[in-house]
Amino acid sequence: MCSMCDALTQLWAEGATGQGAAKQTVTSQAMLEHLTLDQQANYLTDGYWHDAYGGSPHHFYVHAGGALTVNPASLSASAQVVARYALQTWTNVSGLNFVETTAAAAINFSEQKSGAYSNSNYAGSIISDSSVNIASDWVKYGLYYQQTYIHEIGHALGLGHAGNYNGSATFPNNAFYQEDSWKYSVMSYFSQSENTYSNASFGYVATPMLADIVAIQSLYGTAVTRTGDNTYSFNKTSSNTGTDFVPGLVATIYDSGGNDTINVSTYVGAQTVDLRSEAFSSLYGGLSNIAIARGTVIENAITGAGADTLIGNASDNFLNANAGNDQLQGGDGDDRLMGGAGSDVLNGGNGIDTALYTEAGARYFATYDTALVRNATLSVHDAQTSDVDTLSSVERLSFSDRNATLDELLMAFHSRYGAFNAESDATVSLSFSMDLHHIALTEDQADIARLYSLFGRTPDYQGLNHWLTQQAMGSSDAEIRDGFLNSTEGIQRYSGLGDREFVLDLYQTVLHRTGEESGVSSWNTLLQAGGSRAAVADGFLNSRESRDISEGETGFIRIVAHNAWNNLDMVVGKGVATGTAGDDQISEQEVRLDSNAVSHLAGNAGIDTFIFNDAASAYTI
C-alpha cells in the first residue's frame, strides 16, 4: 500500500496570493537538467516509485476503452460534481471509462478525513483498488480544490509525483529538472511562478498536462476522444472537460480527429496561438497557458484585435488574425492566411499557401522591391487604410471578387519591369484593380512563350524565366525547342502518340482547332517520309495562323491570366492594343508605340484611358 500527498497545504498557500507574473530569470542555484517529455512521463510512471519507495510501476489491469468502477457516494453533492469532472478529464486522455457504483469499487472516494491523499493496494504491477480522500473543507480553495481531485486520481491510476517529494517540497530544494511544474504536469508540486525556468504565468490546472498524458497512455494505451469538428475557446463563467476554458486556468487540448479550431477572437489583447503538437499558446492574457497534446492536430486558429502571432502545423491550416499588426506562419501544408485589418506579416512556409482578403481586388495593389524578389517577398497595400502586408512563401492571393497566383504576378512584374536577376533598388507595383491583364514580350521572348502551346497551356513564371535565361546564355531556338520536346512534360505528352495522332494534337494545342484532312495528311506524309517531329512542331509554331493567335508576328504575345484578372484580357501587339468591355488603362510603354509606324489603339466599351509619354505635339492623332 502507498499513501500519497498527505499534506499538500503549501501548494494552495502559494496560489492563494493571486496570479503573479511568470518568473523570467533563474536564481543563483545550480542549473537544473532538462528532461524531454518522454523522460518526464517516465519519471511519473517509473522513476518516482523507484526513488521514493524502491518500488516499480503499477496500474490497473485495464486498457483504453475498458471500464473501472468508482464509488463517490460518500461525497457531498457538490464534491461529487467536482469528482466527476476530474474523472472525465482522465477519461478524455486515457480512454478509461469510469462506472459509478455504491458498492466497493476500483476507486473509492471520501472527504471525511483531513488533508488530501490517495492510497493504492497492488501486487506486483497490478493495482487491485485505490482510495482518494480530499477533505470537505478544501472546497474553500476554489479551483485548486478541483485541481487536487485531478492530481489524486492521477495517483489512484498509478502516477507518481513529478519529483522525489511527498507531502511538502520547495522548488529550490526538491526539483531536479527544469520542467517540474504545473506547466507540464498536474502531478508536480510547483506552480508555474515558483518554477524559475517555466516562462509561464500562474494558473490552476484544469486537465492532465503534456507529461501526464504521455505517462497515462504508456500505462493504459491511447484514447480516442473528440473525433468530430470541435471549437476550443474560453468561457468566462463555466468550464467543461474539453473545449471551454476559464481565463486563469491552464489546460492541454487532446483531440483525436475532425477539423478543429481554436477561437479566441473575443480577446482584444496580444495572443500567440501555436498549433504544433506539444507546443504552448499564450491566450486570454496568459503566458504559455494552453498546450496541444502529442498527436493532436488542430487545423484552424482565430484571434482577436491584438497584435497576435499565429503558428500553423503540418496540416492545411486556416489562420485568421483579425485586426491588429499580426504575424502568421503557415508552416507545412496548403495554408490559408488572413491577416485582417492592420499591417501583417504572412509567411506561408511549405505548400501552396493563400493570402485571403475580404474586400474586392480594386482596393489593393502589390509592390516588389526588385532586390528582394529572389526571396519571394511581396507587399500588398490597402489603398484605403494604407496598411501594408508583407507576404513570403505565399503562392496565391484571394480577394472577394478575384484570385491571383504568385506565378501570374511574377510574370506581370517581369514583363513590365524586366528580368529580376538584375540588382535594383527600384520598387515596382501592380494594381489589382485592373480589369485586364497582359504580358508583353520581345519577339525572341515570344518565340519561347509560344513553345508552351505544345503543352496546351500558358507559361509558368519559373519555367519561362529558365528558358529566357538559357536564351540569354546563347542557346539557339532549336536547342530550346528540343528542350521542350524532350522535357518530362513533353515526353509524357507525345511519346505514346503515333505520327498522325501527333499531328492531330498539334492542331488542337497550337492552333486551337480540329485539323482539316488535307493538312493532317500532308504533315503525316512528311513524318512518314522521315521528317522529324521537331521540324513539324516548328512548322506549326511559326505558321501565320499560330502567330496570329499569339500576336507574335508583331513581336508580342498575349498571355491571359484568367483567374487573376476577372477573366478579361487585352490583345497587345507592336503598336496595337485592344481593350475589353471594362474601363481600361493602356500606356505607351505597354504598347511599345513605333515612331515610324501607324499605331492602332482600340478601347472598346467602357471609359478607357491612353497614356502617352511626350507632349501632345509629338503625336498625330
Catalytic residues: 152
Residue 60, number of CB atoms within 10 A of its CB: 22
CB distance 166 to 142 below 8 Å:
no
Coil/strand/helix, residue 59: strand
For residues 525 and 257, what is the distance between their CA atoms, to the nearest angstrom?
61
DSSP class per residue in 213-262: HHHHHHHH-------S--EEEE-SS---SSSEE-TTEEEEE---SS--EE
For residues 601 and 7, what is the distance between their CA atoms, to the nearest angstrom?
91
Question: Cβ contacts of residue 15 below 8 Å, gap of 6+?
Answer: 141, 144, 191, 202, 204
Phi, psi of 136 (to 5 degrees): -60, -30
DSSP 61: S
Phi, psi of 135 (to 5 degrees): -55, 145
Coil/strand/helix, residue 513: coil
Cell numbers linked to 488: 518530362
**Buried-exposed string 483-521: b where 16+ CB fall within 10 A, e elsewhere:** ebbeeeebeebbeeeebeebbbbbbebbbeeebeeeebe
Find the distance separating the first CA and the last CA of the chain, reported in whole Å. 104
CB distance 44 to 113 below 8 Å:
no
For residues 457 and 561, what is the distance between their CA atoms, to the nearest angstrom?
11
Strand 318-320 versus strand 300-302 pairing type: parallel
Cell numbers linked to 18: 493571486
